[in-house]
Structure 1
Amino acid sequence: MSEELIPETPEQETEENEAAEPIKQRKNGLYPGVSDELAENMKSGWADTELHDLAPIPQAEHTAARRAALSARFPGERLVIPAGNLKTRSNDTEYAFRASTEYAYLTGDQTQDGVLVLEPTGEQGHEATIYLLPRSNRENGEFWLDGQGELWVGRRHSLTEAEQLLGIPAKDVRELAAALTEATGPVRNVRGHDASIEAALTDKVTAERDEELRVYLSEARLVKDAFEISELEKACDATARGFEDVVKSLDKAEATSERFIEGTFFLRARIEGNDIGYGSICAAGPHATTLHWVRNDGAVRPGELLLLDAGVETNDLYTADVTRTLPINGTFSPLQRKIYDAVYEAQEAGIAAVKPGAAFRDFHDASQRVLAEKLVEWGLLGDLTVEKVLELGLQRRWTLHGTGHMLGMDVHDCAVARTEAYVDGILEPGVCLTVEPGLYFQADDLTVPEEYRGIGVRIEDDILVTEDGNRNLSDKLPRQADEVEAWMARLKG
């Protein structure tokens, strides 16, 4: 990675920075050494790259409708929704930026430091303004001397270009904090993304009121619009191709480690989308019994199972969340198949329970009942009845987690929605959720026969509630055991 210009001497640095003010300070505290001649030379000789007559981004009409609904929910109040800032990874390097879900949902923009402000226009209605960093200034050297200047990190859209793309009036974000400090009237802010905005609003907001805004924006995403559904379809299709890539390269993973699987899927995510939607779980052998195994540094051995839980995030930040448990050598052993078939049957029951008018909890209960029946049938719970096992929750020693969650821009979407709107809510068309039962027999679990220990199986699909039932968005990947083996054999050639 390149560094910014470093001065030849401290004396030269001081003199030349006085001549070339204003020049931004480097992250490590030094100033670049710049002659008057170079500073003047860098001001000119650049072509006009302003873009004109840009078409709005595809989701612009949808983000406008989302802002209108938000405006109606909080009349007469100023609403502030930040994108967030870069976060330091180590020293002077940052993590890749990902805009806050609330901001991207309402604007379609993914720009760091951006802020959406809805100004009340009276008791009813708001005027939306998006505050962004404009193009880097070429007169004062900002574009090439600042570490976030465009010659370092790439061209930004001008404010005019942003207005055309997003359909929202745009202003310079560097003016916003001062304006908010002087503003009067009720304000709500989505916290946790931009410390400078929170500092400007510190005497104007309350945690309770801000949380109401965050909860509303979480619940607004429970039902997906047409654009969101198309993005989730795109994410699932790309994810299926990523799983195919993994199967084709399992021999290379056997020669290295789970990290080859992780890297293989990541390549697909970067080719077809923005990133992975969450840390990929590439759990081979007994690692499959660890629910969130993301170290991905273990051996990949023939005869064992690979639990792959991964999802592509699209360029518009919608993620799939899919799990398949695969026999590494392409064929399930009899015991592996028995456990796999039990989970498949539980998933089938769960998916069947996903429909409009059903309670959110229904698919979990349906899947858990099947798994409890299997555990009783296998003699792992003594002479207890299925009803008693479910009453006491004893199946959870091996099922461990809930059977699914909402899905969308976040892998665990709508996470701060109220219990009555989510977990205790009723499904309706447009809801997208995962159905992902599993059985996990820990390697050190002495309550099960030795041959069970170290086997973990989960099957997960992304299910859209439709007007007359549901649709499996990730059905391009096989689920039934025979189909999985045939699919793997075909891919492996």
Structure 2
Amino acid sequence: MIYEKEYVLRRKKLAKKLSSNAVLIVFSAAQKIRSNDTEFPYRQDSNFYYLTGFKEDKAALVIVKEKKEFKTYLFVTKKDPSLELWTGKRLGQEKAKKCFLVDDVFYYEDLGKKFSHFIDNRYALYYDFKLDYSKVKMIKAKTKNISAYFNAAILIEELRLIKSASEIKLIKKALSITKEAHHKAMQISSSLKYEYELQAEFEYIFKKNGAYSDAYTTIVACGNSANTLHYIANDKKLIKNELILIDAGCEYEYYASDITRTIPVSGKFTQAQKEVYKMVLDVNKTIIEMIRPNILRSELQKKSEELLCRGMLRLGILHGELEELLEEKIYKKYYPHGIGHWMGIDVHDQCPYKTIRGDELRLKAGMVMTIEPGIYLDKDDKSVPKKYRGIGIRIEDDILVTKEGYENLSCDIVKDIDAMQELIRTNSSNQ
């Protein structure tokens, strides 16, 4: 749980980044139509939630800054009993005033009129440049005298890079639930027939533990399906002696987890699978050990490419000189993605990797990122030794950068071969 005082602190930090005599506006997410008159489950805009903790649609936050002083205003939808009968209770203006430490709360229906007053004689306006056209049109209609426009999203996403203690606690909670789901999958996979049965188990465990949403669509990819990076069909049979790549994580109170484990359907790795798996696991562990303040993400990427390239040379998947393979990026055929990404309110957290000047950001204490080396060897690739064809392996952990180095937030989710096989064997013997 994040208390209101933390949202106040976030807004204060954001206000300090604004120029004098400026206005910032951030909107809630809109409802999204699934088909005809049915909607997807509502999910708040991440930047708006980061600043407010407010989960309703048709809402907005306005910050008005003079020189050093600033005021914040929250806009919420009016309570309407006839609509609430169908779509649920609204907080309303009076309760919002009690719940949120803002200077005032107004009706969202009055935003246009109030915004005209806020923006009068201001120098600068900050808003998300990705806003839909209708909102931009409303804003621009009120801002004829504005001298400068700035992208509010960039400033907010810079703040989101460094996680607070309460944010880290929520990520750890998400990971504790995700751990239960991954371990259950390891224990029952040999008794199931289809990929979607494992997906259903993940979704059940997530919801059972209060994580009402997955952080992204679960990937359950058996055999060659693992060589499609964003495979989400999850409709194939689980095949004896094949591997299952499972990329799954829940979202708990808006904070994500993102874990990939690759497990044997039958409970035991074949020799060929073990050779490729150990190569990827060694890279995963080595890169995690490199994490510390001031290191560059590109350094982690470069090292992972070198290590995987060496491993593929050793296994006969690649041929030639290491330096040439690295320079010509031949390895990308089998390792096409990055070593990891920021994680937080979004599973791929909307945070910058470079400064406005284009310089790469160095890691700092409080950042959370994934580390996920992988190898993908398609079954039809005749250049790969036959025993390795059809193997796809990714091993992904969630890492917190600390002042001393790092904390592997997902270290309790087993990934070593012996530990994984023991977990599977123990469950099988108890059935």
Measured in 1, the distance between the counterparts of 2:278 and 2:149 equals 47
Alignment of 1:254-265 (within 5 A): 254=193, 257-265=194-202
CA deviation after TM superposition for structure 1 residue 191, in Å = 4.2
Structure 1 stretch displaced more, 225-234 or 244-253:
244-253
CA deviation after TM superposition for structure 1 residue 419, in Å = 5.5
CA deviation after TM superposition for structure 1 residue 326, in Å = 0.4
Structure 1 stretch displaced more, 387-396 or 457-466:
387-396
Aligned residue type for 1:424:
E
Alignment of 1:40-439 (within 5 A): 58-75=2-19, 76-120=21-65, 122-136=66-80, 143-144=81-82, 149-168=83-102, 169-181=104-116, 183-184=119-120, 185=122, 186-193=124-131, 196-203=134-141, 204=143, 212-251=151-190, 253-254=192-193, 257-271=194-208, 272-315=210-253, 317-382=254-319, 384-416=320-352, 418=354, 424-439=360-375
Partner secondary structure for residue 31 of structure 2: coil
Q: Equivalent of 2:412, from 473, 476, 480?
A: 476
CA deviations on 1:12-60 (whole Å, 9 max, x unpaired) are: xxxxxxxxxxxxxxxxxxxxxxxxxxxxxxxxxxxxxxxxxxxxx7331
Partner secondary structure for residue 395 of structure 1: helix
Alignment of 1:451-462 (within 5 A): 451-462=387-398
CA deviation after TM superposition for structure 1 residue 266, in Å = 1.4
CA deviations on 1:389-429 (whole Å, 9 max, x unpaired) are: 22221111111111101111111113455357998221111
Aligned residue type for 1:156:
R
CA deviation after TM superposition for structure 1 residue 158, in Å = 2.8
CA deviations on 1:73-131 (whole Å, 9 max, x unpaired) are: 113211010012111111001111111111000111111111111122x2223211111
Q: 1:338 to 1:381 in 2, by over 3 A?
A: same
Q: 1:410 to 1:421 in 2, by over 3 A?
A: farther
Aligned residue type for 2:54:
D
Which one scores higher on RCO, CA 8 angstroms, separation ≥ 6? 2
Q: Contact conserved, 1:346 with 1:368, CA < 8 A, in 2?
A: no
Aligned residue type for 1:227:
S
Q: Contact conserved, 1:284 with 1:298, CA < 8 A, in 2?
A: yes
Structure 1 stretch displaced more, 372-381 or 188-197:
188-197
CA deviations on 1:293-315 (whole Å, 9 max, x unpaired) are: 11111111121111000111012
Measured in 2, the distance between the counterparts of 1:327 and 1:400 equals 23
Aligned residue type for 2:376:
Y
Q: How many residue pairs were aligned?
A: 421
Q: 1:198 to 1:157 in 2, by over 3 A?
A: same
Measured in 1, the distance between the counterparts of 2:335 and 2:236 equals 23
CA deviations on 1:456-493 (whole Å, 9 max, x unpaired) are: 00000000011111111011111111111112223443
Partner secondary structure for residue 330 of structure 2: coil
Q: 1:433 to 1:62 in 2, by over 3 A?
A: same
Partner secondary structure for residue 308 of structure 1: strand
Q: 1:177 to 1:197 in 2, by over 3 A?
A: farther
Measured in 2, the distance between the counterparts of 1:237 and 1:321 equals 12
Q: 1:205 to 1:332 in 2, by over 3 A?
A: farther
Structure 1 stretch displaced more, 441-450 or 89-98:
441-450
Measured in 2, the distance between the counterparts of 1:478 and 1:330 equals 14
Measured in 1, the distance between the counterparts of 2:15 and 2:355 equals 24
Structure 1: gaps (5+ residues): 1-56, 137-142
Q: Contact conserved, 1:85 with 1:112, CA < 8 A, in 2?
A: yes
Partner secondary structure for residue 334 of structure 2: helix
Q: 1:367 to 1:107 in 2, by over 3 A?
A: same
Measured in 2, the distance between the counterparts of 1:133 and 1:113 equals 6
CA deviation after TM superposition for structure 1 residue 344, in Å = 0.3
Partner secondary structure for residue 160 of structure 2: coil
Aligned residue type for 1:265:
F
Partner secondary structure for residue 198 of structure 1: helix
Measured in 2, the distance between the counterparts of 1:308 and 1:387 equals 33
Q: 1:231 to 1:485 in 2, by over 3 A?
A: same
Aligned residue type for 1:111:
E
RMSD between superposed Cα atoms in Å = 2.2
Structure 1 stretch displaced more, 306-315 or 363-372:
363-372
Aligned residue type for 1:310:
A
Match of 2:421 in 1: 485
Q: 1:119 to 1:387 in 2, by over 3 A?
A: same
Q: 1:420 to 1:399 in 2, by over 3 A?
A: farther
CA deviation after TM superposition for structure 1 residue 268, in Å = 2.1
Measured in 2, the distance between the counterparts of 1:290 and 1:197 equals 38
Q: Contact conserved, 1:283 with 1:307, CA < 8 A, in 2?
A: yes
Partner secondary structure for residue 370 of structure 1: helix
The TM-score normalised by the length of structure 2 is: 0.92
Measured in 2, the distance between the counterparts of 1:443 and 1:419 equals 41
Q: Contact conserved, 1:363 with 1:435, CA < 8 A, in 2?
A: no
Measured in 2, the distance between the counterparts of 1:339 and 1:420 equals 40
Measured in 2, the distance between the counterparts of 1:209 and 1:437 equals 43
Percent identity, please.
28
Q: Contact conserved, 2:226 with 2:393, CA < 8 A, in 1?
A: yes
Measured in 1, the distance between the counterparts of 2:359 and 2:422 equals 37
Q: 1:454 to 1:357 in 2, by over 3 A?
A: same
Q: Contact conserved, 1:72 with 1:125, CA < 8 A, in 2?
A: no
Measured in 1, the distance between the counterparts of 2:393 and 2:127 equals 42
Structure 2: gaps (5+ residues): none
Measured in 2, the distance between the counterparts of 1:161 and 1:368 equals 54
Measured in 1, the distance between the counterparts of 2:12 and 2:64 equals 12
